[in-house]
Amino acid sequence: MLAESTTPVLVDFHATWCGPCKSMAPALEQYAKEMSGKLKIVKVDIDKNPHAATQYGVRSVPTLVLFKRGQLAWRQSGALGLGQLRSTLAPLLT
C-alpha cells in the first residue's frame, strides 16, 4: 500500500493503553477530514502489529510517520495537537 500510493500516507503508530494517543485521536480525525483526498491516515496498533512497529523502529507511542511516494518523509514521536499537525505537515504535503 505505501509503495503504490500516489497520495501521501500518515501512519499513526498507537496503543489502546496510551493516554497521549487517546488525547491526539480527535485531532487526527479532524485532520483526516480536512485533508480528505490529499492525505491518507492509517492507524497501526503496535500491540496487534508488533512486526510493523519493529520494522519502522517505533520505540514509543504515539509515533507518526509520513510516507510520500513510498518513501519515509517525516517522523515524530509524541502527541501533536491539530494546529501542530497542520503547521508541521503543510510544507511536507505541497
DSSP letter assigned to residue 17 = T
Strand order in the sheet with 9-14: 40-45, 9-14, 63-68, 71-77
- Active-site annotation holder among 11, 18, 24, 39: 18
Q: Is 9 annotated as catalytic?
A: no
- Active-site annotation holder among 15, 21, 28, 80: 21
Cα 92 versus chain centre, distance: 13
Q: Is 45 annotated as catalytic?
A: no
Q: Catalytic residues, which ones?
A: 18, 21
